[in-house]
Structure 1
Amino acid sequence: MSGPIRRSVLSDDVHESLRSMILEHQLAPEERVNIDALARSLDVSPTPVREALARLESEGLVRKRPLAGYTVAPLLTRAEFNDMFDMRLVLETAAARWAASRSPAAVRESLSAEASISYVVSSSHAAFTAADARFHDLVAEAADNPLLRDAISRLHAHLHIHRLYFPYAETGSTRREHELVAVAIGAGDASSAEEAMREHLSAARARHLAVFD
Structure 2
Amino acid sequence: MPVPKGSAPSPRSLLRDTAYRAIRDAIVDGTLAPGERLNDGDLAEWLGVSRTPVREALTRLEQAGLVQARPGRYTRVSPLDARAVRGAQSVTAAMHELAVREALPRLSAAEIDAMREANARFADALRDEDVDAAIAADDAFHGVAVTACANPAVRTVIEQFTPVLRRLERLRFSSLAGRGSVAQHDRIADLCEAGDAEGAAAATRANWQTLAPLLDTLPPDDPAEDGPPAGR
The structural deviation recorded for 1:211 is 1.9
1:136 aligns with 2:142: yes
Structure richer in helix, relative to its length:
1
Task: Select which of 167, 173, 179 maps to 1:163.
Answer: 167
Q: Is the 8 A contact 2:121 2:137 kept in 1?
A: no
3-state SS in 1 of match to 2:185: helix
RMSD: 3.5
Task: Select which of 170, 173, 189 maps to 1:182.
Answer: 189
Query: How many residue pairs end up in the alignment?
Result: 203
Higher RCO (CA-CA < 8 Å; seq separation 6+): 2
The structural deviation recorded for 1:166 is 0.9
Q: Is the 8 A contact 1:112 1:183 kept in 2?
A: no
Q: Is the 8 A contact 2:102 2:149 kept in 1?
A: yes
Q: Which runs of 5+ in 2 are unaligned?
A: 1-9, 220-232
Larger of the two Rg values belongs to structure: 2
2:159, 2:47 → 1: CA distance?
31
- Which AA in structure 2 matches 1:114? A
1:119, 1:50 → 2: CA distance?
39
1:197 aligns with 2:204: yes
TM-score (norm 2): 0.66
Q: What does the per-residue CA deviation read over 1:118-151, in whole Å, with 9 as the maximum and x for residues that have no partner?
A: 4545545455444434433332222233323333
Q: Is the 8 A contact 2:92 2:157 kept in 1?
A: no
Segments ≥4 residues shifted beyond 6 Å: none
1:54, 1:85 → 2: CA distance?
22
Report the equivalent of 1:81: 85
Q: What does the per-residue CA deviation read over 1:22-70, in whole Å, with 9 as the maximum and x for residues that have no partner?
A: 2344423232212333444x47344565565455345331234545573
2:199, 2:210 → 1: CA distance?
16
Q: Which runs of 5+ in 1 are unaligned?
A: none
Q: Is the 8 A contact 1:96 1:143 kept in 2?
A: yes
